[in-house]
Amino acid sequence: MESTLNLTLKVWRQKDRNSQGHIETYPAKGIPTTASFLEMLDIVNEELISGGKEPIAFDHDCREGICGACSLVINGVPHGPERATTTCQLHMRSFREGDTIYIEPFRARAFPVIKDLVVDRSSFDRIQQSGGFISVRTGSAVEANSVLIPKDDADHAFRAASCIGCGACVAACKNASAMLFVAAKVSHLNILPQGKPEKNDRTIKMVQQMDAEGFGGCTNQYECEAVCPKEISVDFIGRLNRDYAVAIAAETVIA
């Protein structure tokens, strides 16, 4: 017989970004321990809809830990209590019978609440659009061995590229800093030979866009690394700082 839980949810409800939000309490009864956290919310929403009440708005897409859309703060921790786990990969077996669970949206000036648990993270998109790309001829695929890449470089670039842009790093940081996100997005291109020609320009533009979006500064307390579902290292922040210093120096010399 499948094990179930009876829980109490304390959920942030907010009509829109201009409304004042508040916490509402909901029972979550008979929740299978095999259910994911989002499936638990689905069950609760079905009960709310059946009772003629407004369902809880929350963001999701792939539900496979890839897209980064399922961004919730669960009991004060972005994505919940399990390390290297997105909200959609978090299962209810991580909780106990009778638990009270607080569920809130990511909180940052650059992530305004749209409704309930859904926030606008288009600031990340604008940072990416400012320089997170390489300018190359499109068309037929290039032969894979035409550009030789050392394995260490390829491994480091892959680790940086594993960032799913969920924003947990921002939500965990007391300054709402986006440095880990930007460092990952800058580094995975800067490390590779294909990204070298635009390295300095990319670095400056993405950092400047991050600042323009209203994210805070990094004070090296590593909350970002602790909650990152892909366990991206803060070492990339150090790499970004070095790349930025070199880019600014080069720009000054050219000017």
244-247's contacts with Cβ under 8 Å and 24+ in sequence apart are: 244/203, 244/204, 244/207, 246/200, 247/199, 247/200, 247/201, 247/203, 247/204
58-96 pLDDT tens trace: 999 999 999 999 999 999 999 999 999 999 999 999 999
Looking at 87, 115, 143, the residue that finishes a domain is: 115
Looking at 115, 134, 163, the residue that finishes a domain is: 115
The token duo for 190 is 């800067």
Q: How far apart are CA 145 and CA 123, in angstroms?
A: 36
Q: What is the CATH number of the domain that holds 85?
A: 3.10.20.30
Instruction: Give the chain's domain count.
Output: 2
Angle at 71 between CA 61 and CA 119, to 5 degrees: 95
Q: What is the CATH number of the domain that holds 222?
A: 1.10.1060.10
Q: What is the pLDDT of residue 1?
A: 64
129-186 pLDDT tens trace: 999 999 877 777 777 777 889 999 999 999 999 999 999 999 999 999 999 999 999 9
The token duo for 223 is 């909350």
29-67 pLDDT tens trace: 999 999 999 999 999 999 999 999 999 999 999 999 999
Phi, psi of 122 (to 5 degrees): -65, -15
Q: What is the pLDDT of residue 137?
A: 75
Report the chain's terminal Cα–Cα distance, integer Å. Answer: 72
Say if residue 208 is in the same domain as residue 102. no
187-227 pLDDT tens trace: 999 999 999 999 999 999 999 999 999 999 999 999 999 99
Q: What is the pLDDT of residue 252?
A: 82
Looking at 115, 146, 167, the residue that finishes a domain is: 115
Q: pTM for this structure?
A: 0.94
10-28 pLDDT tens trace: 999 999 999 999 999 999 9
Domain that holds residue 245: 122-254
